[in-house]
Structure 1
Amino acid sequence: MSEASANPLWTSGQAMAATGGMLIGEPGWTVSGISIDTRTLQPGDLFVALQDARDGHDFVAAAMEKGASACLVERGDTGVEPALMVKDALEGLRALGAAARDRSDAIRVAVTGSVGKTSVKEALAAVFRSSGPAHWSVKSYNNHWGVPLTLARMPRDTGRAVFELGMNHAGEIRDLSSLVRPHVALITRIAPAHLEHLGSVEAIADAKSEIFDGLEQDGVAIYPSDDPLAERIARHARHSCAAFLLDFGTSASAAIRIEEFETGLDGSRGVANVLGVRAPFRLAATGAHWAWNAGAIFAAAAGAGLDARDVAEALSDVGAEPGRGRAARIALPDGGAFTLLDDAYNANPVSMAAAIAALGAADPGPDGRRIAVLGDMLELGPDEDRLHAELADHLAAAGVDSVLTCGRRMKHLHDALPKTVRAGYAQDAAGGLEQVKSLVRSGDVVLIKGSNGSGLHKIASVLLDGTALGLTEA
């Protein structure tokens, strides 16, 4: 995503030169954006007919009806003009991305990690916007089509850009980083998020460290000094073409360190030391894990040439995104209110522990309780039963009063909990919602957390919307 630009994003001639494609119909068109989904397409977009779960060629007519300026297609028999025909639509999109990269002088920052990468990316986007023309990934567009799409959408006059890179298997980050060719490459943190595919946290660290392989000459490699696998990550960085290595964390030896940090439901505040420059900062986000995120943000911004004090000022309005720890106060129909911690977008053992700690740090209102509504953590491999059950220790340490578990895997946590803490068990999110309705009361602080596939975001959406329960956001 970028701020609006007065200049066209692509002309037909530029797009043809970038992709090596053939123009069908009248030449001379221009586009102001790129879309792969007719539901979100805007007038003036170039519609790219990707072949994925559904064939994009089935939607080219609908795209033109909605105002697309042209379509990027693999076939000339769609009956839609104007169009740019290429052998492979995804490769055509990648070619547009590479051309957008090469024509721009933007400082490119790439972010990956097992936890925190989307929050850090969004915060960096806010920081970059405060310093000039900026471009950033929409939502979590971090895969084999999301990254080239984000690159292809980058205007020529962008000053700084931030890209999120995701993966499930080894080799995927290397491919994406080689396309972005970042000047700054950042790993936020390593956690057991893809054990089902990679087998060990060491293999996850190796796969994430592929981000350094795509660095531009004289690039900056950034890694978390507090991570148990920090030295393993640093070795990967040293073998890349990085000219500078920066670490961030809380230890006195870290180049970028968070020296002070405190957090509550009203936000967080702290002091960052960035290469000797102390910068007090505030965040609208809550949770102790934001100390880790803040270190990553200050480090990447420093690598992109920004002053720490300017970064601190830009961060004052940064809060958690929906589904990533955002706090909302929900009014109850019979009076009073409870606080919802919406962290339902995704989960692994490390992010789950951080969310539980944030719940533990929250102060309930009079007669209120700390309640955790937890859904399955996915892709954990053969240790998934143990990793779910071990959350009981984190819940006890945080002083959580009541736990509602949802999903087949979370049954192992339910069984590991003391009976006095069990609020109930549901096989799925739908059943969990019914139990939440009768559970919450005024003064409660309610955490909702689970992998995206667990469906707990549906519970959070209902509570935030309020209509199904007669609730309103206070």
Structure 2
Amino acid sequence: MTLWTSAAIAAATGGVASADFVANGVAFDSREVGPGDLFVALSGEATDGHRFVAQAFAQGAAGAIVARPVDGPHVLVEDTVRALDLLATAARSRTAARVIGVTGSVGKTGTKEALFACLDRITHGHAHRSVKSYNNHTGVPLSLARMPADTQAAVFEMGMNHAGELSRLTRLVRPGVAIVTTIAPAHTAFFSGEDAIARAKGEIFEGLVSGGVAIVPFDSPHRDTLIAAARSHAARIVTFGLRDGADVQAVEHVRSVGGGSFVTARVGTHEVSYTIAPPGEHWVANSLAVLAAVDAIGGDLGIAGLALADLEGLAGRGARQSIAVGGGEALLIDESYNANPASMRATLKVLAAERATRRVAVLGEMRELGEASDAYHAALAVPVDEAGVSRVVLVGAGMLPLAKALEGRIETVHVADAATAAAVLTDMLAPGDAVLVKGSNGVGLAQVVARLSGQG
């Protein structure tokens, strides 16, 4: 199906088409361009996308958006970054889809993926989502530009590390439903404290369309801050959580066979029981936010429950696999994509629930925590102890405070980088172990996962 014609691109961006062409996809990374895609040559501080236009055409691009003439079909604009925003705006305006926005310090991507699984099943394949973690000033408009006109439901992840960022992004997305998952210390180098983070996350409600619904975490100490942020933009505010008083509440949740949870939830006047495959109480909370959103758009809660049961862990965000070690197998829990104090505690609780001969934790430093970074890292000693971890490998200079806090308590190895951690683990693991790998993405613990799983 045609996603964009050159005429539609020109009309949306105010550009001039050099020739007629049709595109069935959009990309701004030349390495991701496939046959029939539109390549947007973004110019930034680090690089100029115009350098890769020829490569994009060689890979089958149907056309390009450029700020200077090139060989090949293109739409010429004054500013390609602005043009991508305008294309995103046009994509949002031409669809009648029910649009949901998701943000939060923890759980954005997992909640977005779970919600997409529900929407895709409910709409019989006519749902759309932002892929990967495309949640910033270029990723959000790209995800919007990729949305087909006949989409029935869509979910977009939005992130930020400075005040004001979400305000801009949500006005592009214009959600009918906006979710804040969790408020936790993240990017604290750019904020005065958690309340400032909550206010910045609350900017997502500024983009709500008329009649929009705000969904906020009932159990959060920042609930009232978020409700205040939503009150002047939302027609209705819905809370979700594990405690009494939440509009969408887990009446009961127990660990199920296989490591997930069996949940009975009350959604308004309805009650629904379902299984959520990824383990951990934080995933129970995520699933409640998903049900709240499905209910807000009038979706079928029973079908949503079936989709949640089929959901598997995402690479870097809870994916689980058996790995070969010492003539037997160990369990590998891949949480290598991101980390902050709240998500560290949550995933260590997941590790604690595993029936294993030994529990091993590979923890990379948590970045962008500002002046309180040392304290946040040292405080992880408590959840590490509570998880019954017998061996821990700490990666990065930021983990020195935790290494000192654990000294003499459990077997601890502190290394400088992911490559060294992977080498250390080769001789450390034994059959029956459960291994958690978690850290900020910049630490590169994905290579530890790849090494352990035989892919690197």
* TM-score of Structure 1 vs Structure 2, range by shorter chain: over 0.9
C-alpha contact (below 8 Å) 1:205/1:232 kept by paired residues? yes
Matches of 2:255 and 2:81 in 1, distance apart? 44
Matches of 1:262 and 1:284 in 2, distance apart? 12
Q: Which moved more, 1:218-227 or 1:269-278?
A: 269-278
State yes or no: 1:393 paired with 2:382: yes
- Pick from 64, 67, 85 the counterpart of residue 71 of structure 1: 64
Match of 2:176, as an amino acid?
Answer: H
State yes or no: 1:236 paired with 2:229: yes
- Pick from 30, 43, 54 the counterpart of residue 38 of structure 1: 30
Q: How far is the alpha carbon of 1:305 from its aligned partner?
A: 1.6
What TM-score, normalized to structure 1? 0.93
Q: Counterparts of 1:319-338 in structure 2 under 5 Å?
A: 319-332=312-325, 334-338=326-330
Q: How far is the alpha carbon of 1:330 from its aligned partner?
A: 1.0
Distance 1:423 1:90, change over 3 A: same
Aligned to 2:147: 154
C-alpha contact (below 8 Å) 1:286/1:320 kept by paired residues? no
Matches of 2:73 and 2:443 in 1, distance apart? 42
Deviations 1:345-375 (A, max 9, x none): 10000000001111111110xxx20111111
Match of 2:355, as an amino acid?
Answer: D
State yes or no: 1:311 paired with 2:304: yes
Q: What secondary structure sits across from 2:90 in the alignment?
A: helix
Aligned to 1:436: 425
Match of 1:154, as an amino acid?
Answer: M
Aligned to 1:262: 254
Q: How far is the alpha carbon of 1:194 from its aligned partner?
A: 1.1
Matches of 2:225 and 2:455 in 1, distance apart? 50
Aligned to 2:435: 446
Aligned to 1:471: none
How many aligned positions are there?
Answer: 452
Match of 1:354, as an amino acid?
Answer: A
State yes or no: 1:17 paired with 2:8: no
What TM-score, normalized to structure 2? 0.97
C-alpha contact (below 8 Å) 1:286/1:326 kept by paired residues? no
Matches of 1:387 and 1:266 in 2, distance apart? 28
Q: Which moved more, 1:211-220 or 1:322-331?
A: 322-331
Q: How far is the alpha carbon of 1:420 from its aligned partner?
A: 4.0
Q: What secondary structure sits across from 1:237 in the alignment?
A: helix
Aligned to 2:334: 342
Q: Which moved more, 1:212-221 or 1:410-419?
A: 410-419
C-alpha contact (below 8 Å) 2:122/2:304 kept by paired residues? no
Aligned to 2:83: 92
Q: How far is the alpha carbon of 1:37 from its aligned partner?
A: 1.6
- Pick from 288, 302, 306 the counterpart of residue 295 of structure 1: 288
Q: Counterparts of 1:207-246 in structure 2 under 5 Å?
A: 207-240=200-233, 242-246=234-238
C-alpha contact (below 8 Å) 1:199/1:381 kept by paired residues? no
For the aligned residues, what is the CA RMSD? 1.2
Q: How far is the alpha carbon of 1:282 from its aligned partner?
A: 1.1
Q: Counterparts of 1:96-111 in structure 2 under 5 Å?
A: 96-111=87-102
- Pick from 355, 359, 362 the counterpart of residue 363 of structure 1: 355
Q: Counterparts of 1:44-83 in structure 2 under 5 Å?
A: 44-52=36-44, 53-76=46-69, 78=70, 80-83=71-74
Q: What secondary structure sits across from 2:32 in the alignment?
A: coil
Structure 1 stretches of 4+ with a deviation exceeding 4 A read none
Q: What secondary structure sits across from 2:398 in the alignment?
A: coil
Listed as ranges, the gaps of 5+ residues in structure 1 are 1-5, 469-474
C-alpha contact (below 8 Å) 2:216/2:223 kept by paired residues? yes
